[in-house]
Structure 1
Amino acid sequence: MSDEHRFDEQPPEHTPPTEEQAAPRADEASTAPADAQALPAEEPTQPIAGWRPSGDQPQGESYKRPAEESASVERDEPGPPPYGSTYGEQPRADDALRPPPSGRQPVQQAPDTLAFGPGQHPGPPPGRPGQPQGPGWFGPGQRPYPPVDHYRQPPARKVALWVWPAVAALALVVGVLGGLAGGALQDQLSTPRGTNDNGLGGVRTQTAAPLDADNGSVPAVAQALLPSTVQIVAEFDGQAAGATGSGFVLDREGHVVTNNHVVASAAEDDGPIVVIDHEGERHDATVVGRSAVYDLAVLEVDGGQGLEPAALGASKALHVGDSVIAFGAPLGLSQTVTSGIVSALDRPVTTSGESDDESSYINAVQTDAAINPGNSGGPLVNLAGEVVGVNSAIATNGSASGEAGNIGVGFAIPIEQVVTTVDQILRTGKAEYPVIGAQVRTGGEPTAQGATITEVMPDTPAERAGLLKDDVITAVDDQPVNDGIALIVAIRTHRPGETVEMSVLRGGDEQVVEVELDGKVG
């Protein structure tokens, strides 16, 4: 077998020797070693480990692998097959029991599972005591290179000392940021929220008037609007059903509009609020948001999606003398209808509260339609069946209050202001009103002299506009101002962020200043 034979080549097919080939010649027998003549006839003729067919190697000295073969093993390249192995020939069953010939080493037969192809490392062969172990070596004697442990794990790397402080600092930063985010989320969740981010634009309101404007029929208006009118019963000062009022259905999502003073006590005490529809069915309700300044509130009614919404009109289209109809539950009498006319427009009215922020200033629609306690929050409707105002107060001897009966002077919040405030409440759960940052005198003024400023707060729109104490404001844009209440009402018909022109008397001279309105929640 040639030293140039490779593992990836096919071994030559074994052919049994002929009789002439098997019979040794006389000259060969004379030169053969004595031990070879004593071999049995059936012994295979393959070379055995430790024997070299050359006369320059002393017999009995261990065979040394040439440098080329050792190098090929170390480079993991294919080399000559190990001595003692046989290609294409299986060992016989009795070979393991056959004693080795005298003076010879037993053949180291490689198992079939160790016959790897080129470039592969054979695993360690199953060994016997006293025999060398190690991959890729099956010959006698010591293996020519140290054993390679292919299964040894690499030593674990040591972590640099600076890593642990960095990890601790990162954990601290993440903890702080997480705490801040959690606090912001808690604040956001605790802040009152509306029910629709798009306000009135995100709910299904009634856009078409139910009747023709010139129909002139109060009964037709009553039949169209009674299904949209509700009675409200709420807790007052801890007494269940202590407050009664009215309201109207705003949209098909079950929102109802009413006065703030009807549900304010129940909202502060988290008391029960019940809405009774036109069929007498009772529904629980919760407050979405409310404004004490504009005396308006929005309720969300459980199961109110089936209620019929009312159509919204425009108070700016009204004229003094136009017919109007008031709906509500005066004195607890549900589904009551009264009719009258528009007595006046843009009437400044205030209902005093415990503080200025709780006082309601209304640029009201005045009517002689009968309005009594219990009508509060109900709709004031034109002959087309559109809501033009929300009934809020009645005049008594010396004040605007809901404690006395009707004397023919009632007031309703214009629907334009209702739309503005309700839109804010639906979006955010609260409403803002405009301020200038100045105090004005609200009583004891000479008539037709305007509103006198008594104090200007620092860093406010009034100070930035150059207004001073004792200035007298006589008009806001084109609307005349006769007193302090008229000034407040004129300002509150605008929105925060808008700029208005004010006519100011100072030392007998009149000038016009521009004031950018600030906003305040209330």
Structure 2
Amino acid sequence: MNDQNTPGTNSPYEPHRDGDAPSDVEHTRQLPDEPYGAPASTPTGGSSYAGYGRPAAQGQGSQGSQGPQGPQSPWDDGPGSGYPGQGGGYPTQHGGYPVTGGGGDRGEDTSRRPRLSGWVWPAVAALALVVGLVGGAIGGVAVDEWRDANSSPGRSADGFAGVDTVSEAPLPADNGSIAAVADQLLPSTVQILADVENRSLGATGSGFFMDRQGHVITNNHVVEDAAKNNGAIKVVARDGKRYDAEVVGRSAVYDLAVLFVKDAPEIEPAALGASQSLRIGEAVVAIGSPLGLSSTVTSGIVSAVDRPVTTGNGDDLASYIDAVQTDAAINPGNSGGPLVNLKGQVVGVNSAIATTGSSLGGESGNIGVGFAIPIEQVRVTADQILKDGEARYPVIGATVTTDESGQGALIDGIEPGSPAAKGGLKAGDVVTAVDERQVTDSPTLIVAIRTHLPGEEITLTVDRDGDQREIAVTLDSKVG
């Protein structure tokens, strides 16, 4: 079952509802063997959804929990291996997960698309709708576990507003071509080497400069082992020069991390766009260091949007993401690199891939099904990390599983005093929608919740003994 209080940015979900969906996903690790993704979300009514994480309503507090983790990232590997993402797919979690939702202001027009449903990357269960830990803990991970660099010089009291970011990409004359995008983004994209001395831990992945102060965005799974074991983290620029970096903060739930590069070179940061404006079939470009091959550029299209995906590894928090799906070639090592539109703007952070498995027990690589974390979620999480050195995600305080009918998420348990309890949810209720977004299983519920901000009020459509009703719940929050 899914613990609604479990942090979640990386965790697999229940069996895929799409018959042709691959059975394995890798972050630019692989996704768990269990079905890792749910069908692209569809609203139960109307197509207008609030933005990724609307501002919390006045007077609403927020407390959250974390959730299970799922699919693997493309770049996770042992130190010095040169191949990110190895280690096999994460097990898909089944059973009750804490229901959580995370997200933040997208900063763009949010009326065109539904809220991002969230991402799923748990290692044990894909249905972690409840914000909680993969291990089933309702309270979430200890706060100090995530405060890797509370005194980091990379912190900004004003968050995103306090750093020098870019939104427009001044492309050359051949604007709109893949070559122009590559020329613009390659200098801003870096390879990341995260090593742990005398340990078979560490990873190699990708990232990109988000501002002129030296902050780099990447995946949590790329730097997680190094952060936990005092390992060295190096950022390799396009010219091959290496720079020391430290973790400002990271989120296992959203599989994101912010690094601060000491003595950063004078590099123009990547321009940040909006995934909400993406159209299925639109051309996109993936940039990174697959298999240790730095400055690699691949292209493809947007295959789907709002695709619930879960990933995670080991006993860490599950990640649930409302991913942008693409067929651009993404492989181990691409994790943390940018997914870019033809305007030269970053619309997502490459994080997971689906694979058919490998006879060698490793990752089989690209099969044209890759997933990126929407840039709107990246903005929200990075803002929290820059301000506080940690990120928070929304929770309702309930555990959930997928209803046997396949028509919703079954509330398995309610935490006393939680938002779910205060709102009137009861064990046995089947949640079929969050606001106007349809819920078909526990992962889609978790994802839908995590695309909101703590303190926001959401409306759950519930089936109770055959009677349909709407229940308002104000989201709490947890660190993760």
- Amino acid paired to 2:441: D
User: Corresponding residue for 2:156?
Assistant: 196
- For structure 2, the 5+ residue unaligned runs are 1-146
User: Corresponding residue for 1:376?
Assistant: 335
Q: Is the 8 A contact 2:174 2:180 kept in 1?
A: no
User: Corresponding residue for 1:244?
Assistant: 204
Higher helix share: 1
Matching of residue 414 in structure 1 with residue 374 in structure 2: yes
Q: Is the 8 A contact 1:210 1:386 kept in 2?
A: no
Q: Is the 8 A contact 1:235 1:242 kept in 2?
A: yes
Matching of residue 268 in structure 1 with residue 223 in structure 2: no
Residues 132-170 of structure 1: CA distance to partner in whole angstroms, max 9, x if unpaired? xxxxxxxxxxxxxxxxxxxxxxxxxxxxxxxxxxxxxxx
- Runs of 4+ off more than 2 Å: 188-194, 209-216, 236-242, 352-355, 401-404, 444-447
Matching of residue 257 in structure 1 with residue 217 in structure 2: yes
Equivalent-residue separation in structure 2 for 1:468 and 1:353 (angstroms): 31
Q: CA deviation at 1:445?
A: 4.0
User: Corresponding residue for 2:351?
Assistant: 392
Q: Is the 8 A contact 2:204 2:222 kept in 1?
A: yes
Which residue of 392, 401, 410 maps to 1:441? 401
Q: Is the 8 A contact 1:361 1:489 kept in 2?
A: yes
User: Corresponding residue for 1:361?
Assistant: 320
Matching of residue 461 in structure 1 with residue 419 in structure 2: yes
Higher strand share: 2
Q: CA deviation at 1:213?
A: 12
- Amino acid paired to 2:417: D
- Any idea what SS the aligned residue of 1:344 has? strand
Which residue of 449, 469, 472 maps to 1:491? 449
User: Corresponding residue for 1:505?
Assistant: 463
Q: Is the 8 A contact 2:196 2:230 kept in 1?
A: no
Q: Is the 8 A contact 1:394 1:410 kept in 2?
A: yes
Matching of residue 342 in structure 1 with residue 302 in structure 2: yes
Q: CA deviation at 1:306?
A: 1.1
Equivalent-residue separation in structure 2 for 1:416 and 1:213 (angstroms): 28
- Any idea what SS the aligned residue of 1:441 has? strand
Q: Is the 8 A contact 2:322 2:374 kept in 1?
A: yes
User: Corresponding residue for 2:117?
Assistant: none
Q: Is the 8 A contact 1:240 1:272 kept in 2?
A: no
- Any idea what SS the aligned residue of 1:497 has? coil
- Amino acid paired to 1:361: Y
Q: CA deviation at 1:354?
A: 3.5
Q: Which has the higher contact order (CA 8 A, sep 6+)?
A: 2
Q: CA deviation at 1:278?
A: 1.0
- Amino acid paired to 2:345: E
Q: CA deviation at 1:404?
A: 2.8
Which residue of 283, 299, 321 maps to 2:243? 283
Q: Is the 8 A contact 1:327 1:378 kept in 2?
A: yes
Q: Aligned in 2, Cα 1:304/1:190: closer, same or farther, shift over 3 Å?
A: closer
Equivalent-residue separation in structure 1 for 2:190 and 2:199 (angstroms): 21
Q: Aligned in 2, Cα 1:317/1:310: closer, same or farther, shift over 3 Å?
A: same
User: Corresponding residue for 1:329?
Assistant: 289
Q: Aligned in 2, Cα 1:243/1:353: closer, same or farther, shift over 3 Å?
A: closer
Q: CA deviation at 1:206?
A: 1.1
Q: Is the 8 A contact 1:237 1:265 kept in 2?
A: no
Q: Is the 8 A contact 2:453 2:475 kept in 1?
A: yes
- Any idea what SS the aligned residue of 1:463 has? helix
- For structure 1, the 5+ residue unaligned runs are 1-187
User: Corresponding residue for 1:316?
Assistant: 276
Q: Is the 8 A contact 1:213 1:383 kept in 2?
A: no
Q: CA deviation at 1:308?
A: 1.7
Q: Aligned in 2, Cα 1:191/1:228: closer, same or farther, shift over 3 Å?
A: closer
Residues 311-358 of structure 1: CA distance to partner in whole angstroms, max 9, x if unpaired? 000000001000000000000000000000000000000013344x61
Equivalent-residue separation in structure 2 for 1:349 and 1:320 (angstroms): 17
User: Corresponding residue for 1:102?
Assistant: none
Q: Aligned in 2, Cα 1:493/1:284: closer, same or farther, shift over 3 Å?
A: same
> Which one has the largest radius of gyration?
1
Q: Aligned in 2, Cα 1:212/1:364: closer, same or farther, shift over 3 Å?
A: farther
Q: Aligned in 2, Cα 1:347/1:238: closer, same or farther, shift over 3 Å?
A: farther
Q: Is the 8 A contact 1:227 1:307 kept in 2?
A: yes
Q: CA deviation at 1:211?
A: 3.2
User: Corresponding residue for 1:482?
Assistant: 440
Equivalent-residue separation in structure 2 for 1:268 and 1:369 (angstroms): 32
RMSD: 2.4
User: Corresponding residue for 2:194?
Assistant: 234
Residues 424-464 of structure 1: CA distance to partner in whole angstroms, max 9, x if unpaired? 0000000000000000115x8443x1111111010000000
- Any idea what SS the aligned residue of 2:447 has? helix
Equivalent-residue separation in structure 2 for 1:223 and 1:361 (angstroms): 32
- Any idea what SS the aligned residue of 1:334 has? coil
User: Corresponding residue for 2:125?
Assistant: none
- Amino acid paired to 1:303: D
Equivalent-residue separation in structure 1 for 2:189 and 2:175 (angstroms): 21
Q: Aligned in 2, Cα 1:273/1:307: closer, same or farther, shift over 3 Å?
A: same
Q: Is the 8 A contact 2:150 2:248 kept in 1?
A: no
Residues 28-54 of structure 1: CA distance to partner in whole angstroms, max 9, x if unpaired? xxxxxxxxxxxxxxxxxxxxxxxxxxx
- Amino acid paired to 1:477: D
- Any idea what SS the aligned residue of 1:371 has? coil
Equivalent-residue separation in structure 2 for 1:295 and 1:189 (angstroms): 15
Q: Is the 8 A contact 1:394 1:409 kept in 2?
A: yes
User: Corresponding residue for 2:266?
Assistant: 306
Q: Aligned in 2, Cα 1:459/1:302: closer, same or farther, shift over 3 Å?
A: same
- Any idea what SS the aligned residue of 2:387 has? helix
Residues 229-260 of structure 1: CA distance to partner in whole angstroms, max 9, x if unpaired? 00001115844884100000010000000000
Matching of residue 405 in structure 1 with residue 362 in structure 2: no
- Amino acid paired to 1:454: D
Residues 161-187 of structure 1: CA distance to partner in whole angstroms, max 9, x if unpaired? xxxxxxxxxxxxxxxxxxxxxxxxxxx
Equivalent-residue separation in structure 1 for 2:193 and 2:471 (angstroms): 47
Matching of residue 514 in structure 1 with residue 472 in structure 2: yes
Q: Is the 8 A contact 1:234 1:240 kept in 2?
A: no
Q: Aligned in 2, Cα 1:200/1:437: closer, same or farther, shift over 3 Å?
A: same
Equivalent-residue separation in structure 1 for 2:374 and 2:163 (angstroms): 21
Q: CA deviation at 1:214?
A: 9.8
Equivalent-residue separation in structure 2 for 1:190 and 1:322 (angstroms): 39
- Amino acid paired to 1:388: V
User: Corresponding residue for 2:384?
Assistant: 424
